Amino acid sequence: MAGDPDALPFEVVEEMESVSCVMLIRDGMDKQCTLLTGGEASPAPSNRKEMLTLPPEEREAFLAAEERELAAIEERQVIEDEVPIPPGVRPVGCRYVYTWKDPVAQAGVHQDGTLNCDSPTISPTTSPTTSPTTSPTSSKRKRSPHRYKCNTGAGEVLPPSPRRRSTHSTRCSRQTVAPERMAKARLTMKDFKKGGDNLRETFAPTGRGVTFRLLMIIATLCMLMCDHIDVNTAFLYADLMKPMYMEGPPGFPCQPGFCLKVVKALYGCRTAPREWYKTLRTFILTLGFTQTLLDPCLFFQWVEGNLCLVFIYVDDILIFANSRRQLDAIKAAFFTRFKCKDLGPVKRFLGVWIEQARDFSTLKLHQTPYCQEITSKYSEWFKMFKTAKTMPLPADAHERLGKDVPPPTPEDDVYDWWFNFPFLQMIGAALYLAINTRPDIMFAVCMLARYAKNRTLAACRGVAYLYSYLSGTCHLGVSYAAHSMMALSFEILLDLHGLSDSDWASCIWTRRSTAGFLVMAFGGPLAWGSKLMATVAASSMEAEYMGAYFLGQMLLYIRGLLQEIGLGLTRKTLFFMDAMSAIQALKNPVYHARTKHVAVKWRWLAQHFETVFELCHLRTTDMTADLLTKAAAFRIWLELVRPLMGRVHRSSSQLVAAQERKRGADFPEEEDSRVEA
């Protein structure tokens, strides 16, 4: 560990720390995170040496966070013992990862910004006199990392007393504003992949975004309650199939020739996500739930005719139930097995904020704080635009990006701006918006991402143009509302239908086509995508035919998932396209003179139109998916962007009836079809 920058001699540490740190550590064990208020936080340190040079208040907060991390490791019995290094084994290193945690995601803090003192961190049932930092078997061990003498001279951390915890609760109840930042330290293994080390399975499934949106729609239509819980230090509950050997944590070195035997998953261990998923899955199945085949992170159960759902994303868990009694019973089972944070009714999940009407009539999902954060972070790169743009890309974006212009030279005025432009960072940040709540920027992000390996000046300006648009539309999100609440059928209220479109030979460099699809449900976008096809289409008919395959996949997934949880659809799903030639090719299997060279998987789609889909023609002026295939003119953009975001509801029956209107006439809007957000 001599070359490890995280390791620091005890003498240096003791010289830098003060007695106030000891008191903060002892008192900090009561809390899930150390809270700091006022002022602007310093950037999170990259290693322990850098952490120890922070201002005293921030340094002490991170030291307290380290102690809490080691206490959690001791409580979960992650490390069996300090043992001699086995022959032929090289212990892996470890380090602390320091972050300033978002306060709204922590224990005792509601997601609307107020402190949640009624729903604190809940642990498995233990005796009131048992110290939460000491396990029943700890006395049998030689030494564990939490038993090392603290390098601040404080010795071992004292357990919190019941009186101190009660005092904290009283103090918490008087505070109504969430703190600005929280210190967090995570002990992470340096379990890097080595050459030839392919024996361990590391894949762990995570919940899909379309499943999350579908569940929120089901919760609104079926009036289900939804609560959000978060498992503290989740990976520490998972047992490793094979023990690993690790060096001592920074500041707590092992004896010479010794290492730590790790028997449970630590963060940084490559198999930790998989082992945690197996542990959580096994527990949920013991509660009587059934795992869906299409999404392994969704579990369902019917209790007395009422539907209960559990959706997991690593350590974030959503629980849906029809009554508060059922919901509390499921949560109590989780609290008995795991130490969790009860975040109450879901307000934010994975950065997506949920706004649901009290009468379950409307639903909105948005990422306004995240959008404001990234536009503020990269504001200097698009400050050349004095006012926010009204479109993600200009209508002539294809021509601008397709010009073969040499890169700037050091003599050019824009060279420094282009050379230092954070292209990948800005595209990645915008992509998280596009795949969750912003279908209006999906095509722009996907098109600009094609220049990631060879960014041109025009591509950088395109990203700046996109961020200028985002800066003026941070409030936008996807909205859902029933076309008519008079309907009694779940299937009619859901109104599931899809739209498919393609832009033939749109890529100037390769002449490959761009496919776009849009799945609408409950009056808003449920799933969407924009994809550059892998092969060149010989005609526009072939491009439309191949593009429909992506929509067919998504619709079959959604219908299959609804069927699994007991909400199967009985009617065919309307499948809208604007190319009559492609519709004829899909409706008539014998019509193959121009399609027999298309790969088999594209022909797979035709067989489902007999039982699952119903093809319908849609005018190009009404094709909302057109915004997912090309940069549209401003007039077309204004007309289609509102139904794309769900701000104006166009039902499937309304789309069919609108095809009978005269050419040039406006789209007929019914009186109750507008659900402006």
List the domain boundaries for the chain: 10-189+203-350, 368-472, 482-658
pLDDT at 87 over 60: yes
Using pLDDT thresholds of 50, 70 and 90, give the confidence band for residue 328. Answer: very high
Tens-digit pLDDT profile for residues 405-448? 888 999 999 999 999 999 999 999 999 999 999 999 999 999 99
The one-letter amino acid code at 661 reads R
Residue 539: what pLDDT? 84
Average pLDDT score, the chain: 80
Predicted pLDDT of residue 192: 83
d(CA 455, CA 433): 21
Q: List the one residue out of 73, 63, 292, 333 whose CA is nearest residue 183.
A: 63
Residue 257 pLDDT > 60, yes or no?
A: yes
Tell me the angle at which helices 580-587 and 540-564 cross, rounded to the nearest 10 degrees.
Answer: 60
Asked if residues 555 and 519 have their Cβ atoms less than 8 Å apart, the reply is yes
CATH class of 482-658: alpha beta
Q: What is the mean pLDDT of residues 139-148?
A: 40
Predicted pLDDT of residue 672? 46
**Cα–Cα dist 83/381, whole Å:** 53
- pLDDT recorded at residue 553: 93
DSSP-derived secondary structure for 643-675: HHHTSB---HHHHHHHTTSPTTPPPP--TT-B-
DSSP E strand boundaries for 192-238: 225-231
| Residues of the chain above pLDDT 90, percent | 57
**pLDDT tens per residue, range 505-533:** 888 888 999 999 999 999 999 999 999 99
The crossing angle, in degrees rounded to 10, of helices 368-377 and 423-436 is 170
User: What integer pLDDT is reported at residue 398 of this predicted model?
Assistant: 80
Per-residue pLDDT band for 108 (boundaries 50, 70, 90) equals very low
Structure tokens at 145: 């990392």
Q: Is the pLDDT of residue 102 over 90?
A: no
Rounded average pLDDT over 493-498: 94
Per-residue pLDDT tens over the stretch 354-364: 999 988 889 99
pLDDT in tens, 51-86: 999 999 999 999 999 999 999 999 999 999 999 999
Q: How far is 430 from 95, CA to CA, in rounded Å? A: 31
- Dig out the tokens for 6 from the structure: 């995280």
Query: Can you tell me the mean pLDDT for 183-199?
Result: 78
Beta bridge partners of 349: 352
Q: Is the pLDDT of residue 260 over 90?
A: yes
Q: Which two tokens stand for residue 307?
A: 């539907």
What whole-number distance in Å separates Cα of residue 449 and Cα of residue 402?
14
Identify which of 499, 500, 495, 470 has the alpha carbon closest to the alpha carbon of residue 480: 495
**Which range scores top for mean pLDDT: 369-378, 596-605, 646-655?**
369-378
CB 70 within 8 A of CB 145: yes
Which among 149, 137, 48 is positioned nearest to 96, based on CA atoms?
48
Partners of 519 in the beta sheet?
Answer: 498, 527
Tens-digit pLDDT profile for residues 300-314? 999 988 999 999 999
What pLDDT was estimated at residue 591?
Answer: 52
* Residue 93, pLDDT above cutoff 60: yes
C-alpha span between 589 and 593 (Å, rounded): 10
**What is the DSSP pairing of strand 181-189 with strand 94-101?**
antiparallel
Which strands make up the sheet holding 514-521, listed edge to edge? 524-532, 514-521, 497-503, 573-577, 613-617
| Residue 103 DSSP symbol | G
* Residue 140 clears pLDDT 70, i.e. is over it: no
Of residues 400 and 120, more confidence is placed in 400
